[in-house]
Amino acid sequence: MDITHLVAKRSTCLRRQVGAVLVKNKKILATGYNGAPSRMEHCLEIGCLREKQRIPSGERHELCRGLHGEQNAIIQAAYHGVAIRGATLYCTNHPCIICSKMIINAGIERVVYENGYADALAKEMLKESGILIEKFSRSKKLFGVSGDTFQSKGRRVKKSLKQMT
């Protein structure tokens, strides 16, 4: 998840910095962050269309210059011919409905996210698709070892740093 936060720092969105990393067999396949398409002016340069039109977060996704981090990770993999079927998507935020549909059709099998997102339909469709959805959270140090915790279908699973590498 630390890598997703590093990727998110590349974001050119004025509202929310999102990072996404596709992983399979402990190897990074592709990364993505939210921002305008290649060769287009970024919101950092020209301002935010959504702010100008006072569009609330989680609504009217099509009224934005930017692509989401998840979309850019999937597109990057396709652009470079990297197969992502069976991969895990790590993301700083829960995917929206548009990204969720792309994740389902791309064959991604697991999504690990850190922060929530107000999109009930996305959660419903991901659940219906059978994709494993896990909420990630930092845990406090236990016995001098810090680890990360995943919330998976109502269970908390503790993993030490050694197990995760």
Residue 70 among the catalytic residues: yes
Three-state secondary-structure class, residue 8: helix
Rounded Cα gap, residues 147 and 35, in angstroms: 31
Any long-range contacts for 1-8 (C-beta under 8 Å, 24+ apart)? 1/90, 1/92, 1/112, 1/114, 1/136, 1/148, 3/28, 3/31, 3/90, 4/90, 4/91, 4/92, 4/114, 5/92, 7/31, 7/32, 7/33, 7/69, 8/33, 8/69, 8/92
Q: Among residues 41, 59, 62, 70, which one is catalytic?
A: 70
Closest CA to 73 of 11, 132, 134, 22: 22
Name the token pair of 19.
């990072």
**Residues taking part in catalysis:** 70
